[in-house]
Structures are given as C-alpha cells and as structure tokens.
Structure 1
Amino acid sequence: MLSFEEERDNYKENITSYRLFTHLYQHIAALAFAVKETNDNRQLFPNVTLGFHIYNNCFTEIGTYLAAMELLSRRRRLAVNYKCETENLPAAVISGPNTDICLHLATILCIYKIPQLIFGSSPMVNNEVQGLFFHHMFPQIGYQYGGILRLLLHFNWIWIGVVCRDDDTGQRFVQYVLPMFAQQGICFQFIVRIPKPDFTNTLDATVEKYNEMITNVMGSTANVILVHGETTTIMVIRLMIYVAEVMETPLRISTKVWVMTTQMEFAMLSFVRDWDIDFLHGAISFEVHSKALSGFKSFLQTKNPLSAKKDKFLWMFWEEVFNCDLPNPSLEKKDNMFCTGKEELEALPASVFEMSMTSHSYSIYNAVYAIAHALQAMYSTKLKQRAVSNDAREELWNRYSWQLHQFLRRVTFNNSAGEEVSFDQNGELLAGFDIINWVTFPNQSFVKIKVGTMEPQAPADKSFIIQDDAIVWPSIFNQELPLSRCNEKCQMGSNKRKKEGKPFCCYDCIPCPEGKISNYTDIDECFECPGYQYPNEDKDGCFPKEIIFLSFGEPLGMILAAFALKFSLITLFILGIFVKYKDTPIVKANNKNLTYILLTSLLLSFLCALLFIGQPGKVTCLLQQTAFGVIFSVALSSILAKTITVILAFIATKPGSRIRRWMGRRLAYSIIIFCSLTQVAINMAWLATSPPFPDLDMYSVSQKIVLKCNEGSSSMLYTLLGFMGFLALVSLTLAFLARKLPDSFNEATFITFSMLVFCSVWLCFIPTYLSTKGKNMVAVEIFSILASSFGLLSCIFSPKCYIILLRPELNSKEQLIKRRD
C-alpha cells in the first residue's frame, strides 16, 4: 500500500521481519521513479511536490487495517486523529493489486474522503459511499472477461478447467462470469477453489489439500486451465506442484495451457527461486496495456544499498535477491556472506526480479502522475494563479482536500511514454489489455511476449487481435495448436448427440439420417441439400441433380408416342371406313354424325397424349389438362347421346308414345354441346384463376429434378376429372339399362363394355398415379389416356367394322327388319 503527502518529501518504511516477494520491489521502484520525475519537472508541476509513505500489509486483513490506522496517526505512535505536528492527511492512497486490500482500506479511508487509486481489479462494494472514493487504474473488469471469452472461442477451447481463489472475489467470478462463458458454449470439467494463503503460518495443514487439488488439475482431460487469481496465485500453484513432487505424486507438468487474468503477476519468495517454473511455459495472460519507459531501467541500475542506507526496503530486497548480507557492525565479518553493492540486477533471472516494467508497476507510475496532475489542476483553480506562501497553501489544502476527487475524475494527460491516460465517468481507466505469452528457460528465467491486444474502444473488427503464429505452446504439443475438448470433433457426415448426464460439450457422433448431410465438423444437426442438389454417399457434400422429363428420345417416350400415333392411324382408318360406308344400315342405325364426332374426339385424344411427352413449356402446360378434359368430355357426351338415342328410339316405337317428338339430331347435339360447354367453362375458370405452369419437382425423386407441369389448382383438376367421371357413370348406367333392348344394331351392349373398360382404367389410374414419382407419373397418365381411348374405340367400333368388312351380308336392310321382327 502506497500513500502520498502533498508538499512533503518524506519517505517512511514500515517493514516487518517477514520475508518479501522480491518481484514486488519493482512497485516501490516505479513509485519512486514517478515521484522523482514529477518533482524534477517544475515546469509541468510548479505548485506540487510529492512525498510518499509505503506500508506493508503482509497480505492480511490485520496488516491492512493496521497500515490504515498508522496512516491516520502521528508518526511512531498509533493515535488515530491525533497529530501534534504540522502533518496533513495524505492526498491520496495507491492500493492493490489484491481487491480485498482495497476494500478493507475503503472502510477507513472513505471516512476521511481520501481518494484511493487502485492498480488492481475493482472490488465489489456493498456501500455506495465507499465506491465514490475509488479511482481505478484498471479498465472495466467486464472487458477483460470478454477478452478471455473471445480467446477461448478463437482457439475453440470449449472444455476447460477453472482455478480460482476461495474468497468473495472467486465466488463472484464463479457466480456471475462463468455462466456468461457457458452461454457461449464453454464447458467446465472442474472448478477448483484454492484457499487464500496465510504466510504467517506453516503450510503443513494444507499439504494434503494442495496435493489433491493439483492432482485433479493435472490429471484432467482439459488442456486449458483458466486461472482467476491475484498476486500470490502463481506462488500457490507452484507450492501445490512442489507438494505433489515431495509426495511423489506423478504429474505431467507441461501438459496444460494456463490462461491467467490481469490481476495475477509473477511473485515468488526468494527461498523458492530454484523451483522449476516449467508449468508456465506457453501460458497466456492478460495484462493492462503498458509501454516501456525509457528511463526506468537506468533508474533501477542506479540502485545501490550502500549509498542508500536508510532505504530498508532496498536493503531487504538486495539481501534476498543476491542471497548475501549487507555490512552490519553487529555481524561477524565473513567475506563470503557480505554483499559488495556491486551486484547487478540485470544479472538476475526473471523469476527473481524483472528489469522491464510490469503492467502493475506501469499502473502505479500512471497513478502518481494522475495525482500530480489533479493536484496541479486543483491548486491552479483555487489559487487562480496567485502566488501564495507555503502556509497559505497548507491552509488551502486542509480546507479543500476532499475536492481532489472531482479533479481526479477529469484528469487527462500524456505520460512520458507518449500514451494518453484518462478515465471514464465511473472513474475507470480508459485502456485496453495486452495478451502475453510466457516462455520459460532452464535457468528459471522467462520472457513475456506480447502476442495480441484487446481494445474495447476500437471498432468491433479490431477490438480483439491475436497473432497465432507468434505463440509458443507447451513443448508437449510440438508447436501444434492445443485442443481442449471433452471428445473428438464429429466428422463431416455426422452430427452431435448429447450424452445423458454429461455437460453439453460432451456428446456422441451419429451418422446423418438419409437425405441429410453435414459438411462441417461438430455440427449440431444435419441438414438437407438445396432442392437442386442431392447428398453424396458419405453424406458430407451435395451433387447437382439431373433435370429429367419424359422425352421423345428415351425408350418409354418413344413407345408411348408410337402407340399414340398407331392408335391415331387406326382411328383414322375406322373413320374412313365409316365415311365410305356411310349409307349402309349399320352406320345409319345410331346417327352417323354422332359416330363421326366420337371418332374425331378419340383421334384427338390419342394425339392429345403427345402433349405430355417432351419438355414442358408454358403452352404445353396450358394445353395438356384442358385439351384432355374437353376432348374426353366431347367423347363421353357423344357416347351419352348415343345411349340416350337408343333408349328413346325403343320407347318411341311403343304405340301412343309422345317421345317421338324428342327424337332427332337436335337432342343429341344439345347433349354434346351442353356437356362440352360445361367442361369448357370449368377450364376457363381454371385458366383464369390458377393456370398450370412449368415447374421443378426437386424432392419426389432422389438425385433428380423432375421438370413437370404444375396443375396450379388441384381443386380445379379434380373438378375437371369429376365432371368426366360423372359423364362416364351416367353413360355406363344408361347403357347397362339399355343393353337388352330388342333393337337391331343396338350399341348399348358395346357402350356398356366400353364404359366398363373406361371406368376401370381411370379407377386404376388414381392409386397408380399417386404412388408413382417423377416422369413415371406422366407416363401413367399417358397410358391411361391411350388405354381408355382405345377401350372406347375397340369396344364400340370393332364389332361394326367386323360386320362392314367381313360380314357385309349382315349390313343390309333386310337383316335389320328381320332382327326387329
């Protein structure tokens, strides 16, 4: 804990007999370096001269409260609020990096409205008043967690372990941050809470617990361990590894990638300087963005305990890092034990002391400058640029010291490294994070390489940048990207299925179902190919489908077209026979004009079948069903007219019958015209509302796209077919009733057979049509048209042709009279 006094040049050390973390001496050096620069820069800070106190809290609550009480007491006597000298309360306190230190201090400092500049993460405060006096040399904590999440997702590390402190800070991390990670697909194999170390006691009581913890961590299948800790966490992890080694527990030390939060820093006690730090090789950590200060290394090189005998911190640090004793009259003179003062700090491995400024030290440096700029702004405002004596300035400070907060909130400056330092409305530092890769060496030294950045204020595409190729991974991975998954990825052609009772990151891989593919690894669900493509055999890709239709060039199309033409020629031949023998009794018996109309409609029905063969177009699609419906309606209405004519002719022969007046061509033609116009009206309504059109059927046939005519409106098609079915049933019924009427050349019997064939064909057509797919549906419809038309043609006209051509003696008037008798 560091505190500042304005317009004093005092340096106080509160040192216990406790051995120190040698790395943390850099915090003291950064503080002294910053104060020296501000005091030397009289042009920038003409009204400000800084002094400071340093308090060691020994990482304990008692030590923190004791330091706070001493800060508010007279020197060398613990008497809070009692100051007999002309001492002032400190202008500000710089605390950190542990959050509990800051929170404990706030309990007391907020009473005196003393600003507290925190160079670690912000503590969670329950008292809003305490939070008013916090000024954070740390960006908003949520940015860091967002950066860690993006790092995990960037490398697809979704199966991780978590190590955190067993305190309020760790509890909040587990309770509020880890669920956010889980929502983005991160699973946790374990969450280990390490107890807060108590350096005033021995470690014997925690040996078993430490051994169990590190065994679980190192033996896990997760290759990535997220560590949420603070200053002493790395030390504790190293102690755990040491305990396991002492207990001869087999561990694979260099098998994990440690991802560490910004609050952590490398800090070791000097007696463990020879312990291996291999577990940190390849680790990745986040640090508050920092930049090298040109004069800091030179400042460290000037440090010499022999020329600064009052600097007790330096004396302790020097003896610890160089393992020697500085000259002291109370000690016996032993040349091999005394320090010469000529030892060089840069010769020390980084595990003992770092010469380059760490991010925490950089934050302390900026905190000193923030205080100096705020004080300068405050004096400039209050004094209104008037020159006053030191006493007047002291009186001014006592009156307005609490107003320093508003100036700290608004302070903005460029430090000596040329970087702008400013704060947001909540008093948090506007800065980003550096992503650091740790590389260790056999001599227990290490280097930290910047491999990326996290800039919350940058555009979205530039807010997270990382150089994958620059990262050094743990040696076991042979410089390949480490994988951290519960199980292997599902390969293409399969999808994931959750394992019961396991986290959602653990799953089985099952092949894609028929008709679906997965062309990515680790896909949740297989999906269908686009309509114009079909899955390959491995179900990991799609091939373009072949477009098909019933063409004249294929065998089935050629056969159907040949039968249509053949039947058309037969119909023409029969029509020619009936025209040639139009004056014979058998032709005249049932209205030869109706016969001509029926034969013509049957001829057109055979030719109509050709519309269904070939590539469907707009015209052919419009003509297919409409022409088929009208032509068949004419044919069926002609048969109906023939049947009604037969019935009326029989009834008219009875004495006194008045039906004779209905006999004649007018009735037959009226039936044909009425039925045909009704069908035409149905077709016109169909074409007007939802006409047929060329369409692609992509799904009924696998690996094929069927080019067909879409009916447009199924209901209109069923209406068309229903009307034809009605005509067929009426004709069949009437013909069946008239089949035994005593009349020569009675066609009712032949019509009955023809309509039975017609109805049988179309009744069979419906299930067959619905059960077939693709171009076979068209072939079924063509076959039904040809079969039903040929059934009518053969059943009605073959007996007559037989008589006309082969039994002409039966085609005579005498034979007609004989049959009637």
Structure 2
Amino acid sequence: MISAQRWTEQGWGLLQLLLMVTFCQAEELVCRQRGDPENPQLSKDGDVILGGIFSFHSSWKVRQDTYMHKPLPLECTSLNFRELQYAQAMIFAIEEINNSTDLLPGISLGYKMYDDCDSIARSVKVALTLANGNEVVSATTEAPCTRPAQVQAIIGGSSSSPCMAIATDIGPIHIPLISHYATCACLSDKTKYPSFLRTIPSDYYQSKALAQLVKHFGWTWVGAIKGNDDYSNNGMATFTENAQQLGICLEYSVAFFRTDSSDKINKIIDVIKASTSKVIVAFISSTDMDVLIDELSQHNLTGYQWVGSEAWIFDSQTAEIDTHHILDGAIGLSIPKAHVSGMREFILDVKKLNSSSNKVFREFWETLFNCKFKLSNSSAENQRECTGHEDLTGVQNSFTDMSLMPIYNNVYKGVYAVAHALHIILGCNETCNYSVQLDPLTILQHIRNIHFKIKEGDEVYFNENGDPAAKYEIINWQPTENGIVDFVTVGLYDASLPADKQLSLQQVSVIWAQNSKQVPVSVCSEKCSPGTRKVLQKGKPVCCYDCIRCSEGEISDITDSITCEHCHPESWSNERRDACVKKEAEFLSYEEIMGVLLTAAALFGTCMTAVVAAIFFRYRTTPIVRANNSELSFLLLFSLTLCFLCSLTFIGRPSEWSCMLRHTAFGITFVLCISCVLGKTIVVLMAFRATLPGSNVMKWFGPAQQRLSVVAFTLIQVVICILWLTISPPFPFKNFTQFKDKIILECALGSAVGFWAVLGYIGLLAILCFILAFLARKLPDNFNEAKLITFSMLIFCAVWITFIPAYVSSPGKFSVAVEIFAILASSFGLLICTFIPKCYIILLKPEKNTKKNMMEKGASKPF
C-alpha cells in the first residue's frame, strides 16, 4: 500500500501514465508520445531485446509542486548496490547465452534496463516505455499506431507492490514479467496478473513455513510487525491465518513503513514494551527493517526473539546496521544458497565499468570508492578525486557482499527461462529460424511450460500459477567474536514433501536471543499438565486460559487438553486425574474378616446340627425323641443343615450359577424347614384333639399325611423357583452407581416378583406356623413342643422382619452379609429353641426321658 503522502509526491508521475499512451493525429498520421521520453540506464542492442526494471536508487527528492508549471523529472537518490548487482546478474546471463553455441545459436540478446527508484508510479511508466518505446511511429490507414512490442519479456520488479502495478498494465498485452524477488501470494492470481511469473517462491508457502516454525518451538503468544505494503500485508495475513489454525495467538500486530513519523514509531515501541510475548514475527522488507532497527536501538529494546521473513533475515546490510545486537539469535527463512560459476567474478569486475560513460556507473564508482570525478571548488575538502584505477581490494560494503547470491541466481534463471522459450519458438537446432515473427503471448505460453536445468543442476519450471517449487533454508543469526553476524543454516523447509516432513531442524546448533542456548518461552499461559483442562479467560484470546483440575471420574492424559474424558464405567480416575485405573471389584469374599466370620458361623451351625442329629440318632428309641414324629425331627435337622450350608453360596464372586443357586437353595431349604416345623405344630394340635373322648383326628394326620404335607408345601416353593428361573432368573451384575470408585459385584434379582414370591411364601408359612404354635402353647402335656416352636418362630419372624429394611439400606457387600446373617440367625433360632432343650434332657436329665414323665399332666413342664 502507498500512503496518501507518497501519492501526492508522485502525482505528476501518475499523470504521466496517461501521457504515455500513444495516439494518432488524423491530420499528421504520426504517433507521438506525450511527456518526456525515458531513456534506459543500461542498454545493449541485439536481435531480441529483454527489458529490465530495477531500483538502482531507493529514494527520490521530494518536491513541493505548485501545479503552476510542468513538474521536473523525478530525481532519484540513494544508490542501491543490491539492485545494481541484480542488473549485473541479468547482463551476465545474457552474455553467457550470447556466447553459447547450444542455446539460441546465431541469435543475440540485447537489453534495456530502467531505474524505477523504488516508486510504483515510475515502475509503471518505465514498463510502458519498454512496451511502447520512445520513437515516433508513422501510421497507416490500415494499422494506425500499431507495431510489435519493443521487448519480448521483462525481468525485474524487486518487490511485490511495483510488480502488481506493472503486471496489471502489461498483462492485457501478454508481455511476460518475470520477477526475482516479488513474493506476494496475491501475484499467483492469474485472473488479475496473467503474464506474471517469478523465480522465487510465493509468500503463501513462506507464511505457512513461518507459522510451522513458530509452532515447532512452542511459541503460542507472539507479537507481529509488518510493513505497510502489499508484500507485508498479504504475507502477514496468510501467516495469521495459518497461525490461528495451529493454535498460535498474536498479542499485537502493528504496521510500519520507513517514512512513518517518529510519533507513530514510538507508539509501536510502546506496544512492544508493554507486551508479555517474547517472540516477534517481522514480515517486512529489508529497507523498512533497517529503519526500524535504528529506532529500536535507540530504546535498547533487546532480549526479544525475532522471527524473520526472507526479505531481511539473510541481508548482511541489515546485520551491519544492528550495532546494538537487537536481532542476535534471530531465526527465519531464506532462499536456499546458490552458486553460479563465474557470476561472482563478473559482478566484482568493476574495472570495465570505468570505461562506461553511463551516469549510473559514474555515480556507482563514486559511491563505491567514496571519491569524486573532476572535483569542483565547492566539493568537500576531505573528498578525494577518483582516478578511475581504484581497486576493490580492501573494500567492505554491500556491493562486495555476495550473501544475496540466491537472488542473483533467480535473475539468472529468469533470463534463461526466456531464452529456452525463444529457443523452442525459433526452432533452434544448429541455427534458428529468423523468419518466425515473435509474439509476447506465444513466448508467455512457452515460458509457462518450460522445464530445464541450469548448469549448476537446479531445475527451473513454473506451476499453473507461475510459481517455482517452494524451498527455504532456515537461517539463524549467530554473532561471532569480532561482532560480525554469521548466517548459519539450521534447517530446511520443502513444501513438496508430506506435511509432517516439510520442516526439518537441527535445533542443537541454534543460538537464541541474548546468546542463549535455551529455547525462549513465549506463552500467554503455561501448559496445562495432564489431569487438568483448559478454561479460557474471559475477554482474552484462546491462548490465555486457566488450568482446572478434572472432576472425579474424569481424566486428561495429554498436555493442554481442552476437555476431560469420562472413564469407562469399570474404571475410575487416579489421584492425579491423568489415567483411568480399574475399579476395585467389591464382593463378600472368603479372604476378608467378615467373610471368614460368616463362613465360620455357617460351618459351626452345620456342625452343631450334625451333633444334635447324632444325639437324636443315638437316643432315637427314647420317648423324648419319638414324641411328635421323630421322622420330622430328623428331616428338620437335615433342612437346618442345608440352611446353614446355603449361606455359603452367598460368599464369593457372583457367577451365573451361584446367583441362581443361592436364592433358590435358600428359598427351598427354608420352606422345607418351616414345613417340618409346621408339621410338628399340627401334630401337637392333633395330638391334643386326639385325647378328647370320641376324637379320631389322628387318623387324618398320621405319619403318611405329615410326610405328604411337607412334600406339598415344599413342592409349591419348588414350582415358584422354577418359574422364576425360567422367566427371569437372577444373574451376576456389576453395580457402578452405588460407589463412584468401586464396582459392586452382586446378583441382580432378575424378576423382583419371583424374589418376593419366594420370600413371601416363606413368610406366609412362618406366620401360619407361629399362629398355630401360639394357639397350642398352653396345652398341658409335657410332650408339648408348642412353646419351643412359638419361641423359634418368634425369633424367625423378628429376624426376617428386620432383615427387609436392613437389606435395602445396606451398601454393597453389606447387603449380602445382612442376608447371610438373617439366614444364620433364623437357622440358629430354630435349632436352639427346638432341639437344645431336648438335648439337655437327653444328656443331663435322663431321668425325665421316660414315657411316664411324657404322659403326665399337670406335672412340671420342662418345655
């Protein structure tokens, strides 16, 4: 972009654009040019003429035009050695081709080179001059003011903005413009710039490479300085876009131009001082950078890590200006090093220039050797006179510095591209076809399609956008002991490779700002470690965030995680919240204390039942054992043994079979047990009724009926269990909800109706048994067991009534323990209340174990 001030200063230059257009005067039939003619600074005749546009001067004298008279021609100042070297590289290539017998044999190339003074308006003017020429042209009625183009191609344009203006004007007439240094990605748009080509990669790739370079070193919080021109604006826009995609934030982005006022520059310096980022990306031209470095040096703004574009990162002149070592440790991209045999010697051979009467060479000689030809009286006393025999030996300046050889090579490639296209068009073999009429459009089409190698082996070709392959060296500024900066190649970037292999670095050899070996840190917020997640700070860029610890059951196992991931239901987060660990599976096992105690209680009950059964079997013929059906007593003892043993099925890891077995075995054995007790109770009641005169009820409830009743009551429970197991059986279940950090292994009921039907049926029989025993408790006979059954049923019912709320409210394995406890307590209640008193009489009071004592009424009641 050009400021309003610059356009004002060059207003007449823009007017001259319009005056350059040739017109036909019908009366004279002669085409004349409006305005002053432009003469080339360097020229040579030839069969085919190539144009050249270079900024031999980098500035011009500012005049205040009054618009009262015709403005004087633009007076250029500040001779630029670099641009002269570009022109010499073009001359070297042309002379090499003219001396070649293989390329364009018999055809000589000439050139016309103009100075654009780094002015966009003047660039367009000289480009139109190259296209139209300065000569007066006679016109005919058939073709007024028409003729072939003066040049077949133009080499040059050392920056993007002039090339955009030139390409816009000469594009419609298809004259190829091949730039060696215009890198703006916008110039790849062939709809706007159809005749533009270049031998330097587009900034699109450079901007992507810079973003990847910044990301590689972990710099997510950077500042940006750009020039106020097309090169910088477009390049920084592409860099910003790619940086955002890579998670890089710009703390600030300021524009700078070398003609800015001191106040504006001071504001930029204040922004840098107030920033927290320690890395500055400078996408800026070398001339602008030179001015900026001078301003930064005055404020001693050191300690920042600079990342540079190719326009200044390998410019030795910029390094010479940096006397305060502001840019020490800078890193950036440069065009790969190149060597063209003979070019260095050609450029430095200045003696041949002394014979030239050209004003540019005269000024060049005086500036190079700091002397003056033909000193006048007004000349400074310390100014020596030029002899014309000065020698470059010992001269150290930008002219003798060959660090820009890659750019010279780009000029060289551009000339050879035109030559190869002409070679094909003219059908050159041993000789060329002179009769072929050259047309810029044909030359442009052939240049786009050429593919050749120069003598050093580099391939030259253009893609569909007129761009070459994008390759860069990564340059690091490393200060030496004598204060001179050494440009060290520390890596490569090749856009033709896969994305993960494009950037390669030798990080160990990099020297950073302030001569540090450690990579600088430039982040808005420190990285969030695993176990935390990023939460953006309100009103700040995405690179500014807080690190929040993951919640329980969530983890983040990477650095700078945006979210925390939930663990699998079978896992739980560890203390650091950076990994999911398998949850502890909790179930009532034989190894833990509670399991051991319950197992011991079950086995003790089993043994105790077996001892009682043995006592009863030993004394099976005694009256107290034979009373109330000894078969039911033994069956009851057997069922109690099963009740104690079935509690063991509730201990251990639940499995499909154990889940089905534990509930059905519990239900059936307890019904068998209660059925036996119920049978005994009915026997007591029937026995009392049988003692009444005329009663024969015992024949209806004899031993056969008692056994049948036990089978019938038990069979009902068996049917209920079969239906339960068939329709929806219990199954092993992992309970993830009861405890956050544990898995409760339990047996799901399957059908809740089946479970409560089994439990309800047991409760129904127990209540019926309790009621009948309660009714028979006061019968007078000594053999009456009703009181013992009443006590046992009272304990049984109390245990199971309290079991329900305890079971529901107990967590995890404790609910299983409650159920086992209920089974054991009720089993011990039945065993102790029913059989221990009888064992006491059998073993300790044998005198009461007689038929007479059993048949007495009103006597002492041991039961």
TM-score (norm 1): 0.81
Equivalent position amino acid for 1:165 in 2 = G
Distance in 1 of aligned mates of 2:393 and 2:224: 35
1:124 to 176, 186, 191: 186
> In structure 2, what is the equivalent of residue 41 of structure 1?
100
What is the CA-CA distance between 1:290 and the residue it aligns to? 4.2
Task: Quote the residue 2:288 is aligned against.
Answer: 233
Aligned positions of 1:648-659 closer than 5 A: none
Show the counterpart of 1:186.
248
Correspondence for 2:18? none
For 2:509 and 2:91, the matched residues in 1 are separated by 35
1:697 shift after superposition: 9.1
Tell whether the 8 Å contact from 1:437 to 1:449 is kept in structure 2 after alignment.
Answer: yes
Q: Judge conservation of contact 1:512–1:526 (CA < 8 Å) in 2.
A: yes
1:35, distance to aligned residue in structure 2 (A): 1.9
Change (3 A) 1:367 1:790: farther
What SS does the corresponding residue of 2:192 show, helix, strand or coil?
helix
In structure 2, the partner of 1:629 is 663
2:768 to 727, 730, 734: 734
Partner of 2:222: 160
Kept in 1: contact 2:623–2:849 (CA 8 A): no
User: 1-side partners of 2:138 and 2:698: how far apart?
Assistant: 138
Deviation of residue 114 (structure 1)? 0.7
What is the aligned counterpart of 1:674 among 701, 716, 727?
716
d(CA) in 1 for partners of 2:700 and 2:637? 28
How has the CA–CA distance of structure 1 residues 85 and 407 changed in structure 2, closer, same or farther, with 3 Å as cutoff?
A: closer
1:256 equivalent to 2:315? Answer: no
Say whether residues 1:506 and 2:544 are aligned partners.
yes
Q: Does 1:149 align with 2:186?
A: no
Query: Shift of the alpha carbon at 1:92?
Result: 1.3
Deviation (angstroms), 1:473: 1.3
How far off its partner does 1:680 sit? Answer: 4.8
Q: What is the SS of the residue equivalent to 1:740?
A: helix
Q: Is the 8 A contact 1:3 1:90 kept in 2?
A: no
| Superposition pairs of residues 15-34 of structure 1, within 5 angstroms | 16-34=75-93
Q: 1:584 to 1:466 in 2, by over 3 A?
A: same
> What SS does the aligned partner of 2:456 have?
coil
Matches within 5 A, 1:44-193: 44-46=103-105, 48-75=107-134, 88-119=149-180, 120-122=182-184, 124=186, 129-167=191-229, 170-173=232-235, 177-193=239-255
2:600 maps to 1:562: yes
Tell me, in whole angstroms, the C-alpha distance in 1 between the residues paired with 2:661 and 2:128. 106
**SS of structure 2 residue aligned to 1:355:** coil
- Label 1:492 to 1:281 Cα distance change in 2 as closer, same or farther (>3 A): same
Report the residue type matching 1:60 in the other structure: S
Structure 1: which 5+ runs fail to align? Answer: none
Give the AA of the match of 1:437.
N
Once the 2 structures are TM-superposed, how far is the Cα of residue 334 of structure 1 from its aligned partner?
Answer: 6.6
Partner residue, 1:423 = 462
Number of aligned residue pairs = 782
| 1:278 Cα offset (Å) | 1.9
Q: Given the superposition, is the C-alpha separation of residues 593 and 632 from structure 1 closer, same or farther in structure 2, using an over 3 Å criterion? A: farther
Structure 1 distance, partners of 2:144, 2:43, is 17
Q: Deviations over 1:47-75 (max 9, x none)?
A: 54322222222333322222223223434
**CA separation of 1:30/1:12 partners in 2, compared to 1, >3 Å: closer, same or farther?**
closer
- Name the % identity: 27
* Cα 1:346–1:772 shift into 2, 3 Å: farther
Amino acid aligned to 2:178 = L
Residues 453-492 of structure 1 correspond to what in structure 2 (within 5 A)? Answer: 453-475=492-514, 478-490=516-528
Deviations along 1:197-243, one digit per CA (max 9) or x if unpaired, are 45xxxx6xx1111011023224422121112223433124224325x
Q: 1:365 aligns with which of 412, 415, 437?
A: 412
- Paired residue type of 2:251: Q
Instruction: For residue 275 of structure 1, report the CA deviation from its aligned partner.
Output: 5.7
Deviations 1:465-510 (A, max 9, x none): 111012221225x221111111334456655443222222122344
Question: Is the CA contact 1:96–1:102 (under 8 Å) kept in the aligned structure 2?
Answer: yes
> What secondary structure does 2:329 align onto?
coil
Query: Structure 2: how far apart are the matches of 1:408 and 1:819?
Result: 135
CA distance in 2, matches of 1:518, 1:431: 39
Cα distance change of structure 1 residues 668 and 535 upon mapping to structure 2, 3 Å threshold: closer
Shift of 1:757: 3.9
- Aligned counterparts, 1:430-445, within 5 A: 430-440=469-479, 445=484
Do the aligned partners of 1:189 and 1:222 also contact (CA within 8 Å) in 2?
yes
Q: What is the letter of the counterpart of residue 113 of structure 2?
A: I
TM-score by length of 2: 0.78
- 1:473-552 superposed matches below 5 A: 473-475=512-514, 478-490=516-528, 494-511=532-549, 513=551, 522-524=560-562
> Which deviations, in whole Å up to 9, do the C-alpha atoms of 1:132-159 show, x marking residues without a partner?
2122323354332322222112111111
Paired residues of 1:306 and 1:341 also in contact (CA < 8 A): no
Q: 1:268 to 1:69 in 2, by over 3 A?
A: farther
CA separation of 1:512 and 1:109: change in aligned 2, threshold 3 A: same
Can you list the C-alpha shifts for 1:755-811, whole angstroms capped at 9, x where unaligned? 324414632552454x246xx676556545434433443344445545655666488
Alignment partner of 2:282: what SS? strand
Q: Match of 1:669, as an amino acid?
A: V
User: Whole-Å Cα distance in 2 between the matches of residues 782 and 78 of structure 1?
Assistant: 119
Distance in 1, matches of 2:248 and 2:391, equals 47
Rate the CA distance shift 1:106–1:574 in 2: closer, same or farther, 3 A. Answer: same
Q: Secondary structure at the match of 1:18?
A: strand
| Letter matched to residue 426 of structure 1 | N
Could you list the per-position Cα deviations for residues 530-570 of structure 1 after superposition, in whole angstroms to 9, with x for gaps in the alignment? 99998776667899999998665665454333323222211
State the Cα distance separating 1:642 from its structure 2 match: 4.0
Closer/same/farther in 2, CA of residues 231 and 504 from structure 1, 3 Å limit? same
CA displacement 1:81-139 (0-9 Å, x = unmatched): 99999984211123334222111112210132111223322453698543321223233
Cα contact 1:535–1:541 (8 A) shared by 2: yes
2:326 is paired with a residue whose SS is helix
In 2, distance between residues paired with 1:786 and 1:80?
127
- Structure 1 residues 637, 698: closer, same or farther in 2, change over 3 A? closer
Report if aligned partners of 1:161, 1:189 keep a CA contact under 8 Å in 2: yes
Gaps of 5+ in 2: 1-39, 58-74
Given the superposition, is the C-alpha separation of residues 281 and 353 from structure 1 closer, same or farther in structure 2, using an over 3 Å criterion? farther
Is the 8 Å Cα contact of residues 345 and 355 (structure 1) preserved in structure 2? no
- Quick check: 2:49–2:111 contact (8 Å CA) kept in 1? yes
Give the 5 Å matches for 1:215-234: 215-234=270-289
Structure-2 separation of matches of 1:612 and 1:647: 31
SS in 2 for 1:484: coil
CA positional deviation for 1:753: 1.5
Q: What code does the residue aligned with 1:370 have?
A: A
Equivalent positions of 1:762-801 (< 5 A) are: 762-763=803-804, 765-767=806-808, 769=810, 771-772=811-812, 782-801=820-839
Q: Residues 814 and 357 from structure 1, CA distance in 2 versus in 1: closer, same or farther, beyond 3 angstroms?
A: same
**8 Å Cα contact 1:4/1:92 also seen in 2:** no
Q: How far apart, CA to CA, are the structure 2 residues paired with 1:84 and 1:232?
A: 41
User: What is the rounded CA distance, in whole Å, between the counterparts of 1:807 and 1:79 in structure 2?
Assistant: 156
Residue 463 (structure 1) shift:
2.0
SS at match of 1:508: strand
Question: SS in structure 2 opposite 1:213?
Answer: helix
**Cα distance in 1, alignment partners of residues 640 and 46 from structure 2:** 116
How far residue 444 of structure 1 moved from its aligned partner, in angstroms, is 7.1
Match of 1:287 in 2: 334
C-alpha distance 236-353 of structure 1, shift in aligned 2 (>3 A): farther
DSSP 3-state at the match of 1:752: helix
Query: Counterparts of 1:469 and 1:190 in 2: how far apart (Å)?
Result: 30
